[in-house]
Homo-oligomer: A and B are copies of this chain.
Amino acid sequence: MKKITNTLFLILLFTGTGLISIAQTHPNLILTKEGVEKIRKNLGTVPMFDQVLATIKAEVDAEIEIGIKVPIPKDMAGGYTHERHKKNWFILQKAGNLYQITGDQKYAEYIRQSLLAYAKMFPTLPKHPTDRSYATGKIFWQCLNDANWLVYVSQAYDAVYDFMPKSERDFVEKDLFRPLAEWISTENPQFYNRVHNHSTWGNAAVGMIGLVMNDEALIQRALYGLKNDGLDNTMVDNDGGFIKVEGQNKAGFFAQLDYSFSPDGHFTEGPYYLRYAMTPFLLFAKSLANNRPDLKIYEYRNGILEKSIYSLLYETDTKGRFFPINDSQKGMSWNSREVVAAVDIAYLDFGNDPTLLSIAEKQGKVTLDVAGFKTAADIEKGLAKPFKHRSIAYNDGADGKHGGLGIIRTESADGGEICVVSKYAAHGMGHGHFDKLSYALYDEQGEVIQDYGAARWVNIDQKGGGRYLKENQSFAKQTIAHNALAVNETSHYQGKVKAAEASHPDQYFFDAKNPDIQAVSAKENNAYEGVKIHRTFVLLKDESFRNPILIDVLKVTSEKENQYDLPTWFQGHLLAASFDYARQMTSMTTLGQGHGYQHIWKEADGMSAGEPTQVTWFTPQTIGSGEVEGKIFTLTTSAIPNDELILGRAGASDPTFNLRPDPVFIQRRKATNSVFASVVESHGSYDPVSEIPISPFPSMESVKVLLDSEAYTVVQITHESGKTWTLAIANIDASEARNHQVTIEKEIFEWKGPYILK
């Protein structure tokens, strides 16, 4: 308390231009007097920033022209009142920055009038009439959006604080800001007092308005949560996530920082939600850095905020689109406004990493503040250096011991990339999917083998009001919807969140030292009772192959016989399969009854006759000018006689066409212990302008399991030239120093460490 009070005194600063005095006054959240000075002085010298200023000015001017609209709240997301109030928060925040930067009082006046209108309306508002959220808001259907509003409007209020007479400030604080802060905290503890991205917004909102109003009680509540929330352990939110997690008794912003990230910055819900959560983390942190330097918020947990921004950037494909693990809408990318802000703040406050400038260049915009100004100015100076994706293993869980996400990626010959995302993470809370040891494969254009993402069309009213669709639960979260092993037509942990949250897979090893041979391996022992799964992915770059290939070895151990289904959700159109299959010609039924199977049309099935078992598909990819070029991929598996080979398509049991009709290949086997070994290669290409297929056939001849014991699994792959590679995995001891030896057909095979490929 003492330290905080100190910062309210006048501070004397010596700068190059002389001695000036700065009062701890407004703006003091994201903008500061000093920062505003700097921007004003340099207007006209940084084209990218000037462009942003002009664009935002035009946008806000148009809104001022239309006039202030503060309708009585009534709609769900997508509806008029929701979208209008949402627009207001953005416009008000922008107007505040415009007022500070341009000095034009029309922006301050617009904010003032808006705040008065909100303050006049707010006391009349009951709980939002929709009442469909676990935490219904006042201005919006959920407290979350009320908190969003407050995070942005706090900034607007900060910008015009000195402009408004004290009597009006008292009015808006008493009738709008304080009661709203109470609504989203003390009156909705189930929203406010969690470790969850929703609550981070709540904490930041309360903290930021607290900073503007210099209300120490609100600031403390933001940092440390509510003392007594009276919440019990069985409450769930609208996504089915538990409000309370056992062992986590803290709340507030510091608790979010403690529990939301792994020690290396991974966010357990995945990058789509981290992107969303990032805004309150960074805006509140920045506000605290400006106002409470004693908290050393940027250094907290060894710089967890900086790490989290980099995790966001590394968990993307080459075009910056987030890997859509857990509930994620496809296509969300580092071009989103949240990441624009994160990159600019990271550049300004975390050491001026020049590779961040190249991302800002791709984003093509910056924030209208000091961070954005510095970023734009340094791009203008030519300081940008290319951002390089790299192989990286992220641990999951606050303690970093709850599995993780292994990303291995390698450049292909023509400047492209092959990237494997191996997911052995903890269950992503309410947004988690039952996809232990699943993976997705990318090339430089995008998905080759996809993670379906969420069954949701965010903000599209026609699709269930833009909220999660029921097929998100019944399909997208289920195991069979992923490239993961489903046992006995049941999802992992029987599809139960509580059980899934109580456990997690473990990384077995991760090796990215040699760019030509990289590997990631993980184990899952709890998803099914009595079943252990161990999966290893290796990327091999070798001149025999046009592009690096993926080797996938999935070992399953069980004393009793099970039905194993291993799906491959390939992106594209089936070109050929090496086995005979019977296509359903005039009628078609679903693959099963539940656990997602009811959503898959069984289009065709066949029986493996043995090696080689191959599925080849064509993936159209749109390139720069809008032309379509396609690539040709082949999966070669170690299918054994009597494996059932199924071709299916999503979209059954889907009364309102919520699912994409995506294709899947499923390898089905009845066995106890077994190994599924396969290779995916990107071998061919075709574009409809030249009409010349380049290398349309796979170069992989076969994939064979040579040995499988408790201790060792050995797989051999054979190239059409006859050249072979052998992948040997030590299943029990992953230590680097350990020597291993197996004998296969009288030949002795020796290596050191958890695996070898040669």
**Could you tell me which A residues sit within 8 Å of B by CB distance?**
78, 319, 321, 329-333, 335-337, 362, 445-446, 457-463, 466, 573-576, 583, 585-590, 598, 601, 603-604, 616, 618, 622-628, 647, 649, 652-657, 660-661, 686-693, 696-697
Contact = CB atoms under 8 A, between A and B. Distances in A.
Nearest to A653: B585
A690 B689 CA distance: 33
Contact of A657 (B458, B574, B654): B574
B689 A336 contact: yes
Contact of A583 (B337, B656, B690): B656
B616 A626 contact: no
Nearest to A329: B688
A31 to B, nearest CB: 24
Contacts of A576: 462-463
B587 A589 contact: yes
Nearest to A339: B689
Given A445-B626, A587-B588, A657-B573, A693 B331 contact: no
Nearest to A691: B458
Nearest to A318: B626
24 contacts: A78-B696, A330-B628, A330-B688, A331-B628, A331-B687, A332-B691, A333-B689, A335-B627, A336-B690, A458-B688, A459-B691, A460-B618, A461-B696, A462-B575, A462-B696, A463-B576, A466-B693, A583-B655, A585-B655, A586-B589, A587-B587, A588-B589, A588-B652, A647-B657
A574 B463 CA distance: 10
A550 B281 CA distance: 48
Nearest to A662: B661
Contacts of A624: 624
A492 B229 CA distance: 73
B319 A625 contact: yes
A737 to B, nearest CB: 44
A652 B78 CA distance: 37
Contacts of A616: 462
Given A457-B575, A587-B588, 18 more contacts: A78-B693, A78-B696, A319-B625, A332-B688, A459-B691, A459-B692, A460-B696, A461-B693, A463-B575, A463-B576, A585-B653, A586-B589, A587-B590, A603-B657, A622-B622, A623-B626, A624-B624, A649-B661
A463 B686 CA distance: 13
A690 B338 CA distance: 10
A331 B627 contact: yes
A315 to B, nearest CB: 16
Classify the interface of chain A: helix, strand, loop or mixed.
Answer: loop
A466 B693 CA distance: 10
B686 A460 contact: yes
What 9 A-B pairs come out closest when comparing CB atoms?
A331-B688, A622-B622, A462-B576, A574-B657, A462-B575, A319-B626, A587-B589, A458-B691, A583-B655
| Residue of A329, A459, A626 with most partner-chain B CB within 10 A | A626
Nearest to A328: B688
Contacts of A652: 585-586, 588
Contact of A586 (B330, B461, B598, B697): B598
Nearest to A598: B586
Nearest to A657: B574
Nearest to A86: B692
A598 to B, nearest CB: 7
A658 to B, nearest CB: 9
A472 to B, nearest CB: 16
B583 A689 contact: no
A400 to B, nearest CB: 30
A25 B366 CA distance: 65
Contacts of A589: 586-588
A457 B653 CA distance: 32
Contacts of A601: 588
A625 B337 CA distance: 17
Contacts of A337: 690
A151 to B, nearest CB: 17
A88 to B, nearest CB: 14
B626 A331 contact: no
A80 to B, nearest CB: 11
B573 A660 contact: yes
